[in-house]
Structure 1
Amino acid sequence: MSQLKRITVLGSGVLGGQIAWHSAYKGKSAVVYDISETALANCRRAHAQYAEIYQAEIGASLEAIQQTQARLRYTCDLAEAVAEVDLVIEAVPEVPAIKTSVYQQMAPLLPAHTLIVTNSSTLLPRDFAAATGRPDKYCALHYANLIWRLNMVEIMAHPGTAERTLSEVAEFAIETGMVPIPVQKEQNGYVLNTWFVALQNAAQTLVTNGVATPEMVDRTFLINNPGSKIGPMGMMDVVGMKTVYDVCTYWGHVNQDAQMLANADYIKTHFLDKGKLGLQTGEGYYRYPTPAYSRPDFLAVPGLSAVPEIVRLAAKAQR
């Protein structure tokens, strides 16, 4: 059994909020830290929604929900957030400078025994190990969105990670109901995002370049992957448009990928600038809580009345 009883999640966004809630649900004391009171207020609202989701989807009792809520705290004071913590889970924006700054501010505030993990979706832990001030107690622990349903975490070491750190982190993952996926070699994107970012970027390219509508992209995916409940455009809504934008922007510049940068610009113009962050705000490529892809007829053979619209879209290729 791990000694990681008290956790702090840095960043109260979509996934950070899920990690804090789920860890508390599994019996851990959890502090949510963010620099913005507004962000914390949004996180509290999300947690109220998770209370309903956990009761509806996994049969959580009212008593379990109340105990979960009692284990949660929220603060904008970094020193307070990490004063007595066993494990810090960093889930701040996917921007290297921001991550480095947070680690450097936090380093002198931590108890000596505290472990740190990054929930980065594409960046390597080695890039931030020195900034933590305790590289032997640092590794990656990357979660998937919809944590209560997609219960996996990827564990990636850097050259200086102690085996004891990996052991405690793996035990923590299992104690909180996660399936650990050990990444055997350092890899940007780990396992999940190596294929997901490629899928997301390819799907977004089809939309950015006017090749297909978002709905048609998702229909193509879902028909060819029987049993899947969500396509790549819907996945982007779940991940959050800000994260999609950050990933496309960063890797677009790193790889000098003009298409990826064009995709980032499309996301900014069509979503971020309009306050549409995806599932988090109730609208992205789809509107929630009842997105079009959840309709029983989304993958049905259309009626003949759909032919004019099909022709209108197909005829665009002639221009």
Structure 2
Amino acid sequence: MKIKNVVVAGGGVLGSQIAYQSALHDFQVTLYDVSDESIARSKKRVEGLFPDYHHDINLAEDDFRAHLKNLTYSTDLKGAMATADLVIEAIPEKLAIKQSFYDQLSKVAPEKTIFASNSSTLTPSMMVDHVDRPAKFANLHFANRIWLFNTAEIMGTPQTAPETIATLTEFARAIGMVPIVLKKEQPGYLLNSLLVPFEIAALKLWATGVADPATIDKDWIISTGATMGPMATMDIIGLRTPYYVGLEYLKTHDDPVSKLTMQKMKEKIDAGQSGKDDGEGFYYYPNPEYLDPDFLK
């Protein structure tokens, strides 16, 4: 099967990036979200990607804007799915919300459509009972800033057809990604199996008052040669997704430090300080401290 028409469900940090990256490579893309307000935020995110595309891959503004013509927006799921070859779900990292979405999606999607979840930590087997085409369902996970950190992790269930994995692999290459196909299901895939414990360790250092965010990042960058610290990385990702992941962790772990960390994360989210998208997270944007030339001194 050849992918031509792509629907991205959810226009958050990664959904907006997936939608534009696909449009940039001349796929016809519809970005679906649940309300006009959500669509307005999605448009703002997509159009706000230009400075990063220009800085990181030298994309000219004329080229950036020309490819916006390949991208449309919709709050009508049935209409958005009318000609879809592939739908990439990038909605909030809550299992019940995702399961409900697939119940709805299965009722309106054409028989040909492949379903792919961009879930950061949930395995496709957790959702497969809510799709009507298990052979055409898998996870397709992207790293943040996908134009630069261009991996696409592909993870199926025992029911996923080899043809589906092959089609997703071909699509990933076609939008400039390096396909990473997992041999079996793993919560967090490869990237987040490594990244999440690292971020949790940094958050706990902050939550327990061991060090402030800038000091944590400074130590990590100088000591390892990394280009960005864990707290700055968390701002780019946004606190909401790791917060939802943390809630699932607390269901099976009675850990006082984790509870404290979750409490402090919730306080920041409730205060509108969930990261770069809000203009404030552990740093203030658009001019965060970690971009100051003197930050490492």
Out of 282, 285, 295, the position equivalent to 1:285 is: 282
Aligned to 2:232: 234
| Pair 1:258–1:74, CA change in 2 (3 A) | farther
Aligned to 1:276: 273
Summarize deviations over 1:203-245 as a string: whole Å, max 9, x none: 101111111111111112111211x221110111011111121
CA distance in 1, matches of 2:72, 2:239: 27
For residue 144 of structure 1, report the CA deviation from its aligned partner: 0.5
Q: Is 1:161 aligned with 2:160?
A: yes
For residue 169 of structure 1, report the CA deviation from its aligned partner: 0.0
Aligned to 2:82: 83
CA distance in 2, matches of 1:268, 1:237: 14
Give 3-state SS (helix, strand or coil) of 1:147's partner.
coil
Give the share of equivalent positions with the same residue, in percent. Answer: 38
Aligned to 2:176: 177
Q: Tell me which amino acid in the other structure corresponds to 1:291.
A: P
CA distance in 2, matches of 1:287, 1:294: 11
Equivalent residues of 2:208, 2:257 under 8 A apart = no
For these two proteins, the number of residue pairs brought into alignment is: 297
Aligned to 1:247: 245
CA distance in 2, matches of 1:283, 1:234: 11
CA distance in 1, matches of 2:252, 2:189: 17
CA distance in 2, matches of 1:170, 1:103: 22
Aligned to 1:297: 294
Equivalent residues of 1:252, 1:258 under 8 A apart = no
Aligned to 1:211: 210
Rg larger for = 1
Aligned to 2:19: 20
TM-score by length of 2: 0.96
Give 3-state SS (helix, strand or coil) of 2:251's partner.
helix
Gaps of 5+ in 1: 301-319
Larger mean CA deviation between 236-245 and 163-172 belongs to 236-245
Q: Is 1:225 aligned with 2:206?
A: no
CA distance in 2, matches of 1:166, 1:196: 24
Q: Is 1:40 aligned with 2:39?
A: yes
TM-score by length of 1: 0.90
Give 3-state SS (helix, strand or coil) of 2:49's partner.
helix
Give 3-state SS (helix, strand or coil) of 1:74's partner.
strand
Equivalent residues of 1:9, 1:33 under 8 A apart = yes
For residue 256 of structure 1, report the CA deviation from its aligned partner: 4.0
CA distance in 2, matches of 1:256, 1:183: 31
CA distance in 2, matches of 1:230, 1:135: 39
Q: Tell me which amino acid in the other structure corresponds to 1:117.
A: A
Aligned to 1:147: 146
